[in-house]
Amino acid sequence: MSATHARILVDGASRLRFAPHVKFRHDETRARWVVLAPERLLLPDDLAVEILKLVDGARDIAGIVDDLARRFEAPRDVIEADVTAMLQDLVDKGMLAP
Amino acid sequence: MSAEIGPPLALLAELTHRCPLRCPYCSNPLALERASAELDEAGWRRVLSEAAALGVLQVHFSGGEPLVRRDLAALVRHAAVAGLYSNLITSGVLLDRARLDELVEAGLEHVQLSFQDAEPASADRIAGLADAHRRKLAAAALVREAGLPLTVNAVMHRQNLERLPEMIALALALGAKRLEVAHVQYYGWALANRRALLPTVEQLERASALVEDARVRLKGVLVIDYVVPDYYARRPKACMGGWGRQFLNVSPAGTVLPCHAAESLPGFDFPSVRSASLADIWYRSDAFNRYRGTSWMPDPCRSCDRREIDWGGCRCQAFALTGDAGRTDPACALAPDRGLLDAARQDAAAPPGEFVYRQIGAVAEAR
């Protein structure tokens, strides 16, 4: 299997963005955020939306966790575990990429 | 009840029934529409605009083979402008660089390409078209060169299931990010060909184990969707996510259906976009309301704690096997008609019959 066929593992230094042809946008009809992807459609909950809004290709995961820990006044290690697991899952599904 | 009906998420736009392939499990109805009956470009533009206004988020351009329509790129562009995420479901045999460039420029987001087998001679025999497999390989390469995400759709049955490992390898080699391993579902053409297609339980178990293994091995590399055939399931699939809950289908002639097989159901007057708006049809038509929610359900569905998980299974399968679309889907182990599946599964042990190939104007002799 070639190098392009390796799983990407995320960590605090990973800078992620939405993969090409994956759209994160606000749907006026349902008044909520949606993720549109090839034959997939996600309706993220409020917390997931807050995380995804910070996925911009510039910020690293550590920065995203710092931001959320400050705003939600929650323990950093708890936030870090949740955020990393969610973003790893979306990378595995091809929705996010470095 | 209308208070609980949400807007549809996705539209399957079956632009045409015309197709150069003749797959014996085609999901189109036995009575195929001719070109003269198809909605014109203006008609489809109106459907797309109404779908977006209704809350549809994704449109799947399908067929038949959607590339036989010369106005496909214009419709993709119309969908993109309306804010719809567009997906092309194609056999690939009519795709060339000029057509693909035109579609990419119009805003196409994704291509799903079907493969009939990993072995070229078998693939061409199943598709009923010489040289089809080679042309599909070329189409896949074009899609990847254009930077579009690719899904390989592998329809599996007793005549190709042993080559599932090669199908997975093919998807990887083509650079697909998703692979749909879709066992044939037995309505319409596939029901007419059930003896030629239904795998044995041993074949199926090997395939399921193989998919499970590949999913672990290829995590983060290839997403594998897997659809088990109802005939070997214990619980029915939530067909279309429930009747009239998430999905609508517009046929080539403009008939609006809760699923692509629903035209086979008797006793319905399915509405048409030629005489009503999509919103009217979605929220108020008898056809969409008849099996919506749970109040239509007979027992054992009505009192089942899974009634809002599998939504009573598939109405078309209930009709195909029992003659009554309102019965519990026999795919459920709790269904009173479950015995019908035991009889059907014996088809898998019989020698495969000849294919009844899909064609316009043919009347298939069922089984």
Mean pLDDT by 10 residues, chain B (367 residues): 78 96 92 93 98 98 96 98 97 97 98 97 96 98 97 96 97 96 90 90 92 96 88 85 94 95 89 97 95 92 92 89 91 90 80 82 50
Span A56-93, pLDDT tens digits: 999 999 999 999 999 988 899 999 999 999 999 999 99
The residue among A18, A21, A43 with the most chain B CBs within 10 A of its CB, best to mutate, is A21
Question: Count of domains in chain A?
Answer: 1
Model pLDDT, residue B362? 60
Question: Which residues in B have their CB inside 8 Å of a CB on A?
Answer: 6-7, 9-10, 54-55, 57-58, 60, 85, 87, 109-110, 112, 147-149, 151, 172, 177-178, 219-221, 223
Which of A7, A20, A21 is facing B220, going by the closest CB pair?
A7
> In terms of CA atoms, which chain A residue is nearest residue B53?
A29
Q: Does residue A3 belong to any structural domain of this protein? A: no
Q: Does residue A11 belong to any structural domain of this protein? A: no
d(CA B104, nearest CA chain A) in Å? 11
What is the SS3 assignment for chain B?
A: CHHHCCCCCEEEEECCCCCCCCCCCCCCCCCCCCHHHCCCHHHHHHHHHHHHHHCCCEEEEECCCHHHCCCHHHHHHHHHHCCCEEEEEECCCCCCHHHHHHHHHHCCCEEEEEECCCCHHHHHHHHCCCCHHHHHHHHHHHHHHCCCCEEEEEEECCCCHHHHHHHHHHHHHCCCCEEEEEECCCCHHHHHCHHHHCCCHHHHHHHHHHHHHHHHHCCCCCEEEEECCHHHCCCCCCHHHCCCCCEEEECCCCEEECCCCHHHCCCCCCCECCCCCHHHHHHHCHHHHCCCCCCCCCCCCCCCCCHHHHCCCCHHHHHHHHCCCCCCCCCCCCCCCCHHHHHHHHHHHCCCCCCCCCCCCCCCCCC
Model pLDDT, residue B264? 83
CATH number, domain with residue A68? 1.10.10.1150
d(CA B266, nearest CA chain A) in Å? 31
Q: Does residue A12 belong to any structural domain of this protein? A: no
d(CA B170, nearest CA chain A) in Å? 13
Q: Does residue A10 belong to any structural domain of this protein? A: no
Span A11-65, pLDDT tens digits: 999 999 999 999 999 999 999 999 999 989 999 999 999 999 999 999 999 999 9
Model pLDDT, residue B349? 78
d(CA B164, nearest CA chain A) in Å? 18
Model pLDDT, residue A31? 94
Q: Does residue A1 belong to any structural domain of this protein? A: no
Q: Does residue A21 belong to any structural domain of this protein? A: yes
Q: Does residue A5 belong to any structural domain of this protein? A: no
Model pLDDT, residue B346? 81
Span B292-321, pLDDT tens digits: 999 999 999 999 999 999 999 989 889 988
Q: Does residue A74 belong to any structural domain of this protein? A: yes
Specify the pTM.
0.93
pLDDT level of residue A4 (50, 70, 90 thresholds): low
Contact (CB<8Å) A29/B7: yes
ipTM: 0.91
Model pLDDT, residue B187? 84
Model pLDDT, residue B227? 80
A3 touches chain B (CB under 8 A): no
**Domain, as residue range, for A58:** 17-97
